[in-house]
Chains A and B, each alone.
Chain A
Amino acid sequence: MGQAVNLLSVENVTRQYDDVGGEALPVLRGVSFTLDAGQSLAILGASGSGKSTLLNIVGGLDLPDAGRVVLDGHTLAEHDAEALARVRNEQVGFVFQLHHLLPQCTVLENVLVPALVRGRAAADAAVARAQQLLEQVGLAERLSHRPAQLSGGERQRVAVVRALINEPKLLLADEPTGALDHAHAVQLVELLLELVVEQNVALVMVTHAADLAARCDRVCHLRGGAFVDGAA
């Protein structure tokens, strides 16, 4: 019987940027962790600790200088740009601090935006799922509303549904509650965790808030570009 393969495996990831003077500025120093479907991981850290960089690398938006990210058995760095885009579209869902909803589109349309990448048929097929997910997050009555007509919490819920529309395996949330008050922040995290279980996806959530992080299955602290508590 072979060893079980993790859904997500981040192995010794290193990333550095050049600072203004041309000096190398390390942001991530050998970060490693694994995650399976249905699990949630919260990453805590101060501003500039490398949280968002780590999340971008995990989601295929950025590439590590060293180390690798393996998602569903495939190393992301081995993909070309187009394949990476396909991976992001089909296997990864993103939720950001700013919702980045398209103001000209309705709630339903915003949710369908990722589905458009796969063509008309896929978009049509996604409508029912979108409606079902929106109903699930309490926005059944808001399908034809525009983002400007929603509250901050509602917008973030739309962003969450958008992240899930293509049935991703991995959900990445970059400070998703940063723009919400505490009550709404708690509600959103609860919703995310519910959906993780229900949709059987893995969740990596970056946050400042320890109490919200504590609701996840695991919590890691990132400091100076490395997990202070070792590999997660």
Chain B
Amino acid sequence: MNRFSLMRSSLRHYWRTNAGVLLGAAVASAILIGALVVGDSVRHRVAALALSRVGQTSVALHTPGRLFRAALADELQLDESVAPVLMLAGNAKHPDRGARANGVQVLGVDERFWQLAPRPAAVGVPADGVVINGVLAEQLGAHVGDTVLLRIDKPSALPRDAALATTDDATVAVRVRVSRIIGDARFGRFGMSPTQRPPYNAYLPIEALGELVDAPSRANTLLAGGGEASKMTIDTANAAVAEHWRLADAELQMRPAPNGTTELRSSRVFIDPAVADAVRDRAEGVVTYFVNTLQHGERATPYSMVAATDGDPMPEGAPDDAIIITDWLADDLQVKVGGRVTLRYWVLGPMRQLVERSAEFEVVAIVPQRDARHLMPDLPGLHDAGHCRDWRPGFGIDHDRIRDKDEAYWNDYRGSPKAYIKLAKGRELWANRFGAETSFFFDRADVRGSEILAGVDPAALGLAFQPLRAQALQATKRGTASYFGYLFIGFSFFLIVAALLLTAMLFVFNVEQRAGQVGTLLALGFTPRRVRRLLLGEGVVLAGAGSLIGVVGGLAYTKVVLVGLTTVWHDAVGLSRVQLVASPASLVGGALGSFVVALLVIVWVVRKQAAQPAPQLMAAGASGVDAAPSRRALGSIVTASVCGLAALGLLMAVAFTEGGAQAGAFFGAGAALLACGVSRVAVWLRRSIARPATALNSLAQLGWRSTQRRVGRSVAVVALLACGTFLVVAVGANRHDASHNAYDRASGTGGFALYASSTLPIYDDLRYDEVTHHRAVPLRVGPGDDASCLNLTRAGKPRLLAVDHEALAQRKAFTFVDHLELPEGAHPWALLADGDSNDDAVPAVADQPTLVWGLGKKLGDVIGYTDERGRTFRVKIVGIIGSSILQGHLLIDERAFLDVYPSASGYTMFLIDTDAPQHDAELLSREYEDEGLEVQPVSRRLAQFLAVENTYLSIFQALGGLGLMLGTVGLGIVVGRNILERRGELALLRAVGYTPAAVRRLLVIEHVWLLAIGIAVGLVAALVAVAPAIRHSAELPTGSLAVLLASVFASGLLFIVLAARLALRGPLLDALRSE
């Protein structure tokens, strides 16, 4: 016989309780390991999806809104594959089925693209066909051979937002036959944005697509790389661009001009500032603008070109308001030198509204009319018109104003300017976010393109490679997917705690059961240390074996959870398939973690038990009640009083706080009330046992009195049930109902009725319906990633939304939970315009989930962005609104947005106020079908975001509920233990005439008290904690909570009855024997 054989025989002898301890440790271990492995599986899946999104691509150049030559791909002479892609927005429709898909990526590709697929292989796309990906096929219900209708955004060299641009003919439609449907392996998931949700992709031959959208041989994206082994860096790729790009890649052209000069102009009409800055000191800048009216007194000349130049014919030293007119104009206006001429012209006002401005000039010279048509920029709808009546620019032309002499002038001189003003004045009047000059003239004929481009950084025009693959992997490492395992541990927290408490409880009982034996060992000369080691040795074996069983259990648990995550909890991750992937770190770490925690619990129990003196241990159970109730009651009184006062104080503080602070005060009050409630129960029980009581006269009273027998045990059961109930109810009450207060401006819907988003930009603000007088707040959607909770990957640069802050401020839309200091009386939305006067950062507002979960940022934090010209700028969080339909974005003011993204054109998001939502939704969807406008009630949009949060809450509730159920198993064990300890007393009751049913009833009543008190304390505290949530934005899911709590009560009752039955089994009367 040695220590080990003693341990072995003890383990064997007390196998029933040991099996319980083992099971408890195994459950805790399984849940911990399971949570980690769930995290592994989700992370692995998201990483796999990220890689299938980028395929073999290492770096990518993507310039939405600009076009370059597709041939640049070859000219870069990079060592690895380079594929040009023309990537345009579009929507698709199955004409036969009527099914639609908005937000389609229409990709013009060639064979080089397919070589960058995850599994490279030739995918031939016939010239009249289209390849689509699986999700698009599914959405449309399309099969190979079906015809689909694609409507595609037509790129425009002149940004469509420019004052003189046209928005007619902004899209093109084409019917194409589906030649193939591809999956992820063949690049079906290709996309630039990091998200686990697959895009709708339609692939056309790049040449065919280019022809279709009038951009032959053009591309806006370059993909380069060679898979995992790629050595491609963005520096190498960008250097290659700088070396090999040409004027056409910067959308510039050079052509000979009169007098041996060379003109530099842009198909974008206005020359990019980066280019202008590079050539301004070497060439003469000119801006030629379309003027609505040239007026002198009563006489007016309609629709003319006016050039601003410091060169010929403008003399040096001319005054700022000088204007030189041609004799044709002088004659038409009947004006002489010294006369005043007024220019009326369009500029782009807020919301893309054209605003007519005017400026007055003094005629300083009259020059002969000459043919200077080369000065007219290539204005779409104007420059190539045969007659004035054929003019179709992007703004309103009153053709009735055009006279015969104007038609004759067009025939003779086309767009030759009729007047000239100083360049500085022209810039002042007509410079805009797209540029200031329309041409530059070099004074020689032999200017080379490389000479011009030498001083221009391609990145300034958006021609810069980004590390697509690294960004994709980085996004998966930092997003929700990266910590989903820990998130799941959070969801399972109460379940793990319940399992550990169960383990502790069982081990306590195990040790208590052997208290006499421990006392005997001590009496026989064993040192307390030796006894502790003996018990600990058993604990190590049990905790270790439990952890190992937990590994197997954890994998099984993971399987079940993954089924849940891809079905009923699908909204939590948005993945339809997740394979079980367990990393050794999770298995070993989880097993070790659970082993250590279980062992710590056991160490604590052993230390507590072995600390008692031998005689007390040997006489264990003699008194049958907890010792020193009154002294312990004092501690509970202090705790209850402090917590009660804290709860009261916090509830009073509610009156002086608002928003988040108020919710915090409520929650704090609830938590304090929970602690107070549990302590109060302890005081109650201890006082009841310490003070003389009135005589018993019912079984219920006797049952209640029995709860005071082991106050510590009773309080532990109450605390476990109360905490569990508190957590489950408090968390459950945070479930948000999107339709709750949907029309309240302060709600997450902003009080808007409809939310609309379009695939293709819309160039007005939907103000067309005079019947319902709906009003829309249009938003521009900038580049960036989806930072909403729908995206499991971390958005590095959340998408910027540009909004007219006044439109939101006037409506007092949404609720600010926090913001930077604000001038008195100002609405927080004004911060978007004013921001922080000491900081040049662009002020931004985000909603709370985006900031906290999507970005991990807080108020005042700054995020770096790169603007359209390759310059970095800072965006500072100046305000936070509550969970809203704007989730996933940062909102900045429209003016600030256009400063950094001048090429941004049109609006693709709308928040609509209307009294007739259904009618307007149908009307707008029809009217803007070509743009792929999708209109939905705002509450539905909010519900999509809330679905994630609510699903998280459902998981927490379900697992918390399981934890509570486990708690009720613990209650059953306590019942069993109590009965076993009191078999003598219970036998006595039988002896004095209690029937078995009466004894069982007594035991059930006794423990149902604990069950009911535990649930009641937790419920009341939780209801206080979530009072503001219930009052404001959330709706208490009374149905599910009632079912859950009823289940917990029923489960508790079941275990009590079962335990009572089991423990009362056998010859109870034997316990009366003296022996």
Contacts and interface: CB of A to CB of B under 8 A. Distances in A.
Given A96-B988, A103-B623, A103-B709, A85 B995 contact: yes
B1069 A61 contact: yes
Given A104-B689, A113-B696, A61 B991 contact: yes
Interface string A125-146: 0010010000000000001101
A215 interface: no
Contacts of A59: 991
B1073 interface: yes
A116 B992 CA distance: 10
A108 interface: yes
A90 interface: yes
Contacts of A61: 990-991, 1069, 1072
Nearest to A109: B696
B998 interface: yes
B455 to A, nearest CB: 94
B697 A120 contact: yes
B474 to A, nearest CB: 63
A45 B989 CA distance: 27
Contact of B990 (A85, A104, A147): A85
Nearest to B710: A104
Interface stretch (B124-132, B641-649, B700-708, B771-779): B700-708
A200 interface: no
Contacts of A127: 695
B699 A178 contact: no
A178 B984 CA distance: 16
Given A82-B995, A85-B995, A113 B693 contact: no
Given A81-B995, A89-B993, A105-B696, A94 B988 contact: yes
Contacts of A104: 624-625, 689, 705-706, 708-709
Interface string B658-697: 0000000000000000000000000000000100110111
Nearest to A89: B993
A117 B1069 contact: no
A42 to B, nearest CB: 16
B14 interface: no
A16 interface: no
Interface in B1031-1075: 1069, 1072-1074
A204 to B, nearest CB: 14
Interface residues of A, number: 48
B998 A103 contact: no
Interface string B618-645: 0000011100000000000000000000
Contacts of B1074: 52, 96-98, 174-175, 178
Interface in B892-923: none
B698 A120 contact: yes
A25 interface: no
A88 B623 contact: no
Contacts of A89: 992-994
A109 B705 CA distance: 10
Given A106-B692, A109-B693, A112-B696, A94 B706 contact: no
A56 interface: yes
Contacts of B706: 102, 104
B168 interface: no
Nearest to A122: B697
Most buried by A among B624, B698, B709, B985: B985
Contact of A148 (B623, B991, B1069): B623
24 contacts: A61-B990, A61-B991, A61-B1072, A85-B993, A86-B993, A88-B991, A90-B993, A94-B992, A96-B988, A98-B1072, A98-B1074, A100-B1072, A104-B709, A106-B693, A109-B695, A113-B696, A116-B696, A117-B992, A117-B993, A127-B695, A130-B695, A146-B689, A163-B992, A166-B993
Q: Return the 7 tightest CB-CB contacts between A and B, nearest first.
A: A89-B993, A144-B692, A97-B1074, A100-B988, A123-B697, A103-B624, A114-B992
Interface of A: 52, 56, 59, 61-62, 81-82, 85-90, 93-94, 96-98, 100-106, 108-109, 112-114, 116-117, 120, 123-124, 127, 130, 143-144, 146-148, 162-163, 166, 174-175, 178
